[in-house]
Amino acid sequence: MSSEESCDVIDLNAHSNYFNRELSHLQFNSRVLKQALDKNHPLLNRLLFCCIFSSNMDEFFEIRVAGLRQQIKYGRESIGPDGKAPTEVLAEIDRVVHGYVDEQYSILNDVLLPELEAQGIRFVKRADWTDVQTAWIEKYFEDEVLPVINPIGLDPSHPFPRLVNKSLNFIVSLEGKDAFGRETGMAIVPAPRSLPRLVRLPDDVCNGGDNIVFLSSIIHAHAEQLFPGMQIKGSYQFRLTRNADLELEDDDMVDLASTLRGELLSRRFGDAVRLEVVDNCPEELVAFLLKEFNLTGAELYKVNGPVNLARLMAVGRLTNRPDLEYPSFTPGVPKNVRSKEKIMDAIKQRDILLLHPYETFTPVIDLLRQAAKDPNVLAIKQTLYRTGADSEMVAALVDAARRGKEVTAVVELRARFDEEENLELASRLQEAGVVVVYGVVGFKTHAKMIMIVRREDGVLRRYVHLGTGNYHAGNAKLYSDYSFMTCDPALTDDVHRIFQQLTGMGKALKIKKLFHAPFTLHDQMISLIDRERVNVEQGKEGYILVKVNALTEPKIMKALFKASRSGVKIDLLIRGICCLKPGIPGLSENIRVRSIIGRFLEHTRVFYFHNEGKGDVYCASADWMSRNLINRVETCFPIENKKLSERVKEELDWYLKDNCQSWELKPDGSYGQLTPQEGEERFSVQSALLDKLAAR
């Protein structure tokens, strides 16, 4: 059989063509953890990567693992393109994650902590406390901890407490009788959530350097004060992770905000999905906890150190060691923005494209601030997903409403883990007179849009901002995202129509230039992929270069397979989850998949299609996932200015050139980190973008 004939019989639906979504997600977290060993990162940033791994894994268990367990519990098992059933996936997750956690604590104990100590940052163990330190810690316990801690003895009148998700707790083994003659043998001590998990010892009780003790060590050392007259046989840390996904039944919902407030109360006490305990905890206590939480040994993680490493993120704030962190930089400001006093004047002159964090987010904030104060501005509309109730952008919307402008905010209350803050944000806006709507029930509003209506020379002109990331000034310093500002009449009219759909009711309106989910974006992406395939089949050139955070949507993957089979060269820059297998002969040998992990979180969603040399460039708020393309409100906007589109293509090419922060996906599902070859110059795309765009 010829190679051409073998291609024709390949089944695009075959499970062997796809990776499992959850296991690919874990691969991303593994790449994050590997950064803790990369000495190209400063030491405190390496510690931060170790912490981020913990934070990522928390969410993975709270949402992804919890979701799989729910499918099994209620008999609603869903099979993905890879063909693996939830029970099979959970078994593989257990195997993989136990290995990752062992690796993480080995990195912490054997690499990071010794290197930190060599730099004068010490985590002082109880056995090493001096008399002076012991006295200071005892006073700290009596003044700060004892008044707020609440030990709970276990007996028939004190059942096992309902512990909050991810809280630090201790199981204490006791001997003796208390004042009432009770002899229970066990107690639970929840660590006060109001107290810091890391405590820096004062310089006057130390011999130089930064000396830190864990709150857990302080509680361990003074456990007997919590149970006077009782003998402490042992005290052991543990931490429970619960299902934190919110279940909102659209059919029964009358008021989204009220329903969400009720669900948020239950999030802290969802079903248990993981138990972490210190590895010296006796087996009988471990068995007791597992039984109490209805978990098995597969969900148990014994750790050689603190049960919540994410709390080590505070080390940078406690130590003030800029020499052990990345140097600060000032984000750049494009010349055409600097030269204009008003952002709208700059936009009127030409479209503006900013790449954060290398270029400043301030012009986006200034656009709203200036619009709020401009007497010629009549109306402002904005979508808000992850913003923060106290942000400068929210303050500008409040100011605009109080000045009598028509202000509308589409607040997505269901932005995961930001729901409570978004409820507060919505209340603040409503109190100021902003018209607040919550988008469309059943479709998260994930699009990033601002529209400003201004009267100029007797006519109304619209200005819009479209972005790939959230309206969060803090995230704009850490996440790479594009901001696009224009007053192009067709694009601004498209944004106006999408806002109409979000705030009103009616049939889907005709959109001229934008692609938008859930209506046209999915089909348009497939159409653009197919156009490259057809061009190659007709003997023309074809090339696709895409940068997204995740690729899981089956029809998109099949379109890419078809294009690859026809000879289209495809480069995919996918930070996280990728379910498509590259490098399969006759199917995906023309597809290359890379992931960039570095100082900044890669977050841009960018699409480049060769289109017979025209070079079409689009940016979007959406990843190539079913939830984005089918179940959300998203926008994808063209970069039509030739200079700007060429700039985006050049920056994408730099990502392909990266040979030190780039990981290439292999057909077997593993990732190999690219390194400079002999005689090859080291090239970091994030460093290059800093040099090009930031004001060093």
Secondary-structure percent of the chain, ordered helix, strand, coil, rounded to 5: 40, 25, 35
Q: End-to-end distance of the chain based on CA atoms, in angstroms?
A: 60
> DSSP string spanning 8-51?
HT--TT-GGGB--HHHHHHHHHHHHHHGGG-TTS-HHHHHHHHH
Structure token digits, residue 74 = 């209620």
Amino acid code (one letter) for 360: T
Give the single-character DSSP code of 477: G
Q: How far apart are CA 474 and CA 292, in angstroms?
A: 40
CA neighbor of 485 nearest in space, from 626, 610, 361: 361
Q: How far apart are CA 18 and CA 617, in angstroms?
A: 27
Contact assessment for residue 675 and residue 682, using Cβ atoms and an 8 Å cutoff: no
404: left (phi over 0), alpha (psi -120 to 50) or beta: left
Contact assessment for residue 625 and residue 513, using Cβ atoms and an 8 Å cutoff: no
Q: How far apart are CA 214 and CA 140, in angstroms?
A: 12
Amino acid code (one letter) for 320: N
CA neighbor of 635 nearest in space, from 496, 455, 434, 472: 496
> DSSP string spanning 296-332?
-GGGEEEESS-S-GGGGGGHHHHH--GGGSPPP-BPB
Instruction: Look at the alpha carbons of 532, 634, 66, 441 in this order and tell me if their dihedral is positive or negative.
Output: negative
> Strand, helix or coil at 191?
coil
Interhelix angle for 43-59 vs 86-107, to 10°? 160
Q: What is the largest CA-CA distance in the chain?
A: 90
Contact assessment for residue 652 and residue 610, using Cβ atoms and an 8 Å cutoff: no
Q: How far apart are CA 396 and CA 384, in angstroms?
A: 13
Structure token digits, residue 296 = 């098995």
Q: How far apart are CA 125 and CA 240, in angstroms?
A: 24
Residue of 446, 465, 472, 516 marked active site = 446
Q: How far apart are CA 453 and CA 457, in angstroms?
A: 13
Q: What are phi and psi of 272, to 5 degrees?
A: -70, 140
Instruction: Look at the alpha carbons of 246, 250, 252, 254 in this order and tell me if their dihedral is positive or negative.
Output: positive
Radius of gyration for the chain, computed over Cα atoms and rounded to the nearest angstrom: 28
**CA of residue 655 relative to chain centroid, distance:** 21
446 is an active site residue = yes
Q: What are phi and psi of 483, to 5 degrees?
A: -115, 130
Contact assessment for residue 353 and residue 484, using Cβ atoms and an 8 Å cutoff: yes
> Strand, helix or coil at 429?
helix
N residues, the chain: 696
Active site residues: 446
